[in-house]
Amino acid sequence: MTVQVLNNISFSVEKGEFISVIGKSGCGKSTLLYILSTMDTDYEGDLTIDGVIMRDKKEKELASVRNEKIGFVFQFHYLLNEFSVLHNVMLPGLKLGKYSEKEVEHRAYEKLKVLGIENEARKLPNQLSGGQKQRVAIARALINDPLIIMGDEPTGNLDKKNSEIVFHIFKELADVYHQTLLIVTHDNEFAARTNRIIEMEDGQIIKM
């Protein structure tokens, strides 16, 4: 049986934009992000990333597009507890293989500095607070200087104070580093402060 979740979705994201995606539970936000991030390939139509159409690419090529061009932050941090904070941030960089291990380590440390958590570099993830863990996850998403960061309710698990910290980090990344961000959120205050809101309902974009 085929279930059509999304319908007639069309939009583009320009470099440096900070965009939020909102809409009721079940409207298709996560499905949209999974398609845009090439993790879900079961769609009709075209997805173009950095001028390249993703259709017909093999899973291996898509994996490399994801690792090089897309940073992903989830509601849960998915950090590996057997590795230090610094090593967790390094992992996608080591996988990319563009820089030596020493360089990746240096870059990871710089990202932790941007997020204000460089003092936690040698700790294990489970020694950090929820807000700190989410910042480590953002540092990890940044390690390969992705074209875009996609987030699926990255503040969904955080209290008000930590949500605010994460929002300001995203805002700084957008304003200072021209980092492109596409963030699904249930928090209307968060969305209201982004550059553009994409509102979905029943698998469609109803407002943009």
Q: Does residue 5 interact with ligand ATP by CB under 6 A?
A: yes
Round to whole Å and give the CA distance between 185 and 163: 11
Torsion-angle region of residue 92: left (phi > 0), alpha (psi -120 to 50) or beta?
alpha
* Cβ neighbours for 157, distance < 8 A, ≥ 6 positions apart: 75, 76, 130, 134
Q: Which is nearer to Mg ion, 30 or 37 (CB)?
A: 30
Sign of CA dihedral 161, 167, 172, 173: positive
CB under 6 A: which stretch of 29-37, 78-86, 108-116, 132-140 binds ligand ATP?
A: 29-37
Q: For Mg ion, which residue of 30, 88, 185, 194 counts as binding (CB under 5 A)?
A: 30
CB under 5 A: which stretch of 22-30, 77-85, 90-98, 134-142 binds Mg ion?
A: 22-30
Q: Does residue 27 interact with ligand ATP by CB under 6 A?
A: yes
Q: Does residue 205 interact with ligand ATP by CB under 6 A?
A: no
**Angle, CA 170 vertex, CA 178 and CA 74 arms, to 5°:** 120
Q: Are 200 and 27 in contact (CB under 8 A)?
A: yes
Q: Which is nearer to Mg ion, 5 or 124 (CB)?
A: 5
Q: Which is nearer to ligand ATP, 71 or 203 (CB)?
A: 203
* From the list Mg ion, ligand ATP, none, partner contacted by residue 146 (C-beta under 5 to 8 A by kind): none
> How many chain residues touch Mg ion (CB under 5 A)?
1
Round to whole Å and give the CA distance between 27 and 188: 16
Nearest alpha-carbon partner for 166 in 116, 128, 125, 207: 116
Q: Does residue 38 interact with Mg ion by CB under 5 A?
A: no
Which chain residues interact with ligand ATP by CB under 6 A?
3, 5, 23, 25-31
Which chain residues interact with Mg ion by CB under 5 A?
30
